[in-house]
Structure 1
């Protein structure tokens, strides 16, 4: 059964037009799961969350922003995914549960990784400990190869660590669709 997941580093939900654009994209995509990074919401803004959830999403986990560039939001359709447990930290939301249509136990992971190589390595090692099939998305603040980055220098060691993580978990790095940014 095909389904859509929206992953979006929104870089802030403080402006009404940004919230409208995000809501429109979520609605148009008919997403069953939404991972938002960098909400920059220091506390849950009930009106913004209500708009994001619309009529399709029944469940959510929100990590408030502690610094200028953080804050995570995970939304999901309870008719698609049934959460059994969750792990939440400043940079990560891990939802463990079942995909309703297949009864498959999976992890849904929303990530906003640190932009520090040493801390990111530790972060990826911790992610490797989850032993379920996973759907993982977000902003890892690194690239796997030079061709994924426009301008600036690529940290070769960080790229190797990230690529080893993707390959070691047998993850599929999905192609970018519909935007000029990854």
Structure 2
């Protein structure tokens, strides 16, 4: 399994999307956790541009007044998700690795550096 966690610090530009796409395609990640995308919404078309093909699913969580938004993308052919849910600063996906059959819980967590947050 290949998993990447990346504090992207804004995913709005074409150059940044292309950079993520090149890394994902070159390394063939099974799961990609992106943090601080600073997007208000995420479309299937945007995730397709990031992922590079149609064999994906994703979950997006945002806090509009903050930068603590998260995007989790996974390869549907490698990880079969049974349960997915979001909290204020996390995304949880629970499922099985297709080839191994191992049940796994994956959590994309964003924790602020300032304790007052």
TM, length-normalised to structure 2: 0.87
Contact 1:39 1:73 in 2 (8 A): yes
Instruction: Give the whole-Å Cα distance in 2 for the aligned partners of 1:116 and 1:73.
Output: 22
Instruction: Give the whole-Å Cα distance in 1 for the aligned partners of 2:63 and 2:55.
Output: 22
Q: 1:41 aligns with which of 39, 42, 46?
A: 39
In structure 2, what is the equivalent of residue 86 of structure 1? 84
List gaps (5 residues or longer) in structure 1.
120-182
Measure how far apart 1:118 and its partner are.
6.9
Measure how far apart 1:72 and its partner are.
0.8
Name whichever structure is richer in helix by fraction: 1
Aligned length: 117
List gaps (5 residues or longer) in structure 2.
none
Q: 1:100 aligns with which of 98, 101, 104?
A: 98
Query: Which has the greater radius of gyration?
Result: 1
Contact 1:63 1:88 in 2 (8 A): yes
Contact 1:95 1:107 in 2 (8 A): yes
TM, length-normalised to structure 1: 0.58
SS at match of 2:33: strand
Distance 1:29 1:65, change over 3 A: farther
Q: 2:22 aligns with which of 10, 21, 24?
A: 24
Instruction: Give the whole-Å Cα distance in 2 for the aligned partners of 1:87 and 1:46.
Output: 18
Contact 2:48 2:54 in 1 (8 A): no
Query: What's the RMSD between the two structures over aligned residues?
Result: 1.9
